[in-house]
Chains A and B, each alone.
Chain A
Amino acid sequence: MTTLRIENLTRRFSGQTVLRDVSLEVPSGSTLVLFGPSGAGKTVLLRLIAGALEPDAGRILIGGRDMAGVPPEERGVGMAFQNFALFPHMSAFDNIAAPLVARGVPGARVREAVEAVARLLKIDHVLAHPPRALSNGQKQRTALARALVAEPALLLLDDPLRNVDAKLRFEMRLELPRLLSGRGATVVHVTQDYREAMALGDRIAVLDEGRIMQEGSPADIYLRPATIGIAQLFGDPAVNLLDVVPAADEGVHVALSGRRLSLDPGYAHAAGRACVLGLRPEAIGFAPDPAAPDAVPVTVEAETPLNEKIVTLVVTAGGREILVSRPLGTPGPAMGPAAIRIDSARALLFDRATGRRIAPGRSAPAEAAA
């Protein structure tokens, strides 16, 4: 089977380093999501793997074979592009058939294979149409079909869901894993959508400014983000960030509107340091009893329903704005004074100077490594 290994890859464009020392390994048959903001170097990395660009340093190994100097047509990869990159002068059928034609597959078998993959992607009725006569969704499926039809061992998906409407994106997010599983292909999927990343990745590599900032399972990245930046990228509404300085008298705690919010005792080593407390909106709830010792008094300022949840903006006495999210249909406070309760076990603590997460420890102070 085909494992993708990337070793210390560096690529510069006219003096600017767009990828620096990137190393990754994607085990055979698994899906790695490359996630990051635009300009992070995701597409460049994908193009290096596809062979459209050559690295300035480092190696790419597909199935153990060093790809240096191997042209794209000999790498045996399939790729779907963000802009679809269909051949405008060919029918959808010829578009999908192109990888088979290149391999010299006889006509009857080409027809069979193209029709099979088209049925799977529900575009078998538009095979005769040229790309300009296809809807965006059909174009995207045609592009996917073309990437899949030759059963490549390594599949590169460059944000293929970016240019389709929200409904279709959601459908495809559910459908893609089904399409990919059973083919046994190793997949590298690029996206800017954290939901897509969490839904599709066996592992996620967060890329920013040409560097891998963190690599891990979706749960790892969401629950233990390596930096403030990553915490902000994952989650909607975004994580609440509060400047705090933990104190370590009678248990570790931070002060919030005059109340003590106890933290995991493992954070003792962070006492006295300038920190940022990261609170996911869903880790905060409303306190029925404002007088309870763990309740923080706030003022409810605004409320927005967001699909399956309701997001409430509250302001503490000190003027800090906090977003609270609760499931749709659960009771919430009216505008005006209320109190929130924070599930401190789910709180994240970051070093304010470096932006890195501080891992709770039992022994010597140690900063979390990426």
Chain B
Amino acid sequence: MDHRSLLERWLRGIALALVVVFFMFPILWIVLMSLQTNETILRSPPSVVFTPTLQNYAALISGRLETEAGALDIAFMSNLMNSVILSVGSVALALVLGVPAAYAFARHRFRGSEDIAFTLLSFRFAPPLLVLLPLTLYFQDLGLADTYFGLIWVYQLICLPLILWIVRGYFEDISPDIELAYRIAGHSWWATFRRIALPLAGPGIAAAGLLAFIFAWNNFIFALVLASADKQPVTVGALAFVTASGIQYGQIAAAVVLSIAPTLALALWAQRYLVEGLSLGAVKG
């Protein structure tokens, strides 16, 4: 081993460490902040030496925020529940609608099929603010404003195109001969869809579902405008920590930790499928 390769190894190590620090530091800092009081967070100069406290988490879970100006009710846990309901609901609906649609687009060339598929994709390009104002007016007329159903409906703008386009690539990768072989064996097209196409596209469907879940979970603007307090997800609910008596950094940090935990856990668990699924789709789709 000569000195050049040693130097190379050193530089490589430093570069990798920098990358890890760059991406992990905010998360580490947030975790540290969540274990401090507002006073220790705001002292100058900042220090990593402090007495950890769980009072932020306690406040979030009990729903009572003690500030100098007095006690304040916060609905963080119900916000978290709302996030779960909205994300799970919209991904479930998007899967039910999107997977059969993806199959249709993958297997059948019908008049306007490309146009319809592209229109659905274009929902992802449109700035949400552009559609929000008319949507708000419609929703108020239809009585959908401030309902889970209405929000889940709007979240389809996020989830449906994603699932449709990723899963379509997976269905296209399945040789039509495999399905034809199953049909010829005597099975109906519905049985073929269920027992051949769905299981073979399984990893892709899982990856697309997970991505859609993360996008739905992280959505802020639709929920901000279309939901009132009792339907707000955590992304919007976190605004409540900006109180009249100041910004509650500790609680915000604890709320962030709690709200990224489900997606982080889900992503870690499904990491293998996600990477495999997305790269497969990218290469072959």
- Determine if A232 is an interface residue (Cβ-Cβ < 8 Å): no
Complex contact B181–A88 (CB within 8 A): no
Q: Classify the interface of chain A: helix, strand, loop or mixed.
A: loop
Residues in chain A within 8 A of chain B (CB atoms): 47, 50-52, 71-73, 75, 77-79, 81, 83, 85-89, 98-99, 102-103, 146, 150
Interface string of B177-201 (1 = CB under 8 A from A): 1101111111111010000100110
Measured in the bound complex, the distance between the Cα atoms of B206 and A113 in whole Å is 37
For residue B175, CB closer than 8 A to chain A, the reply is yes
Contact pick for A72, options B175, B183, B191, B196, CB 8 Å: B183
Main secondary structure of the interface of B (DSSP, over half): helix
A184 to chain B, nearest CB (A): 19
Min C-beta distance of B199 to chain A, whole Å: 5
- A87 and B186 within 8 A (CB): no
- Would B175 and A73 count as touching, CB distance under 8 A? no
> With a CB–CB cut-off of 8 A, which chain B residues contact A87?
178, 181-182, 196
Residue in B181, B199, B200 whose CB lies within 8 Å of A81 = B181
CB-CB nearest in chain A for B176: A52
**Given A71-B189, A75-B184, A87-B182: 17 more A-B contacts, CB < 8 Å:** A72-B180, A72-B183, A73-B187, A81-B177, A81-B180, A81-B181, A83-B177, A85-B180, A86-B181, A87-B178, A87-B181, A89-B199, A89-B200, A98-B185, A99-B185, A102-B187, A102-B191
B interface vs A, CB < 8 Å? Answer: 175-178, 180-189, 191, 196, 199-200
Q: A47–B176 Cα gap in the complex (Å)?
A: 12
B200–A88 contact, CB under 8 A? yes
A111 shortest CB reach to chain B, Å: 17
Q: List chain B residues, Cβ under 8 A from A71.
A: 183, 188-189
- Write out the residue numbers on chain A whose beta carbons fall within 8 Å of the beta carbon of B185: 73, 98-99, 102, 146, 150
Contact B186 A85 (CB under 8 A): no
Bound form: Cα–Cα A78–B185 in Å: 7
A85 vs B179: C-alpha distance when bound (angstroms):
8
CA distance A221 to B144 in the complex (A): 74
* Given known A87-B196, A88-B200, A89-B200, contact A79–B181 (CB-CB < 8 A): yes
Chain B residue numbers with a CB within 8 Å of A75 are 184
A99 in contact with B200 given A81-B181, A85-B175 (CB within 8 Å): no
Q: When the two chains form the complex, which single residue of A78, A86, A88, A103 contacts B184, counting CB atoms closer than 8 Å?
A: A78
Chain B nearest CB, measured from A159 CB (Å) = 12
Would A73 and B184 be within 8 Å (CB), given that A87-B196, A89-B199 are in contact? yes
Query: Closest 5 A-B residue pairs measured CB to CB?
Result: A102-B186, A85-B177, A99-B185, A72-B183, A85-B181
B192's closest neighbor in chain A, by CB? A73
Determine whether the beta carbon of B178 is less than 8 Å from that of A86. Answer: yes
Residues on the A chain within 8 Å of B178, using CB: 85-88
Residues on the A chain within 8 Å of B175, using CB: 83, 85
Given the known inter-chain contacts A71-B189, A86-B178, please indicate yes or no for A79 contacting B184, CB distance below 8 A: yes
* Chain A residue contacts of B180, Cβ below 8 A: 47, 50, 52, 72, 79, 81, 85
List, sorted by A's number, 15 A–B pairs whose CB atoms are closer than 8 Å: A51-B183, A72-B184, A73-B185, A78-B184, A79-B180, A83-B175, A88-B200, A98-B182, A99-B184, A99-B185, A99-B186, A102-B187, A102-B191, A150-B185, A150-B186
